[in-house]
Amino acid sequence: MNKIQIIQGDITAGRVDAIVNAANTTLLGGGGVDGAIHRAAGPELFRACLKFNGCPTGEARITPGFQLPANYVIHTPGPIWRGGQFQEAPLLAACYRNSLRLADQSQCQTVDFPSISTGVYAFPLEQAAQIALQTLETELQMTLFVHRVRIVGYDAHTTEVYQTCLNRMISSD
Ligand code: AR6
């Protein structure tokens, strides 16, 4: 639990080994955090992503960070919320698990995540926070290199929901 932090800010500004992108299955950019990351990284990121021919929901792919301060970008398409009966929860957990494993395989020590799927993809925020933090907590017991993960909330409400969820996990530990 002491390896996880919640901060508020713009994920593209992070001087970390890897930032995670809440992408879509084309991996060719979009709005929200995906658009911000592609704008800040520059056109080379788009060219690097073209080579993947897309990515299934819940899996992850890694590219350099190009013009970003981060060394790498890990792209993971989150699930679109369709009421909760379409594997949304396990798919969201898979995003965090696969992204963290890929970061560790690339010998990253510090990784920043956005709140995957809770924007355009409409995943309920409280449930998403619980899945994100529980998955990261479990996976961080197995990483060899990653020793600090931050959830970067863009708005105050998102940041607060993750912080409250983390506090609850710490106090029930
Ligand atoms: N830094 C950190 N978080 C951000 C930033 C930023 N610069 N910009 C937005 N957020 P969303 P999704 C927050 O919609 O729900 C894209 O078009 C945002 O406030 O970016 O997974 C993709 O191409 C929210 O809390 O991602 C996909 O098509 C969180 O990031 C689709 O949206 C996620 O919101 C993915 O939807």
pLDDT in tens, 24-67: 999 999 999 999 999 999 999 999 999 999 999 999 999 999 99
Please state, in angstroms and rounded to a whole number, the distance separating the CA atoms of residues 29 and 24. 7
**What is the distance in A from the centroid of ligand 1 to the CA of 33?**
4
> From the candidates 34, 104, 112, 155, which is the catalytic residue?
34
Please state, in angstroms and rounded to a whole number, the distance separating the CA atoms of residues 51 and 76. 15
| Low-confidence residues in the chain, pLDDT < 50 | none
The reported pLDDT for the residue numbered 172 is 86
Ligand 1 pocket (Cβ < 6 Å) reads 10-12, 22-24, 30-34, 36, 78, 114-121, 152, 154-155, 158
Neighbours of 161 (CB within 10 A): 19
Cβ neighbours of residue 2 closer than 8 Å, sequence gap 6 or more: none
Asked if the ipTM is above 0.95, the reply is yes
The reported pLDDT for the residue numbered 1 is 67
Report the atom number in ligand 1 closest to the C-alpha of 10.
Answer: 1
Please state, in angstroms and rounded to a whole number, the distance separating the CA atoms of residues 98 and 90. 12
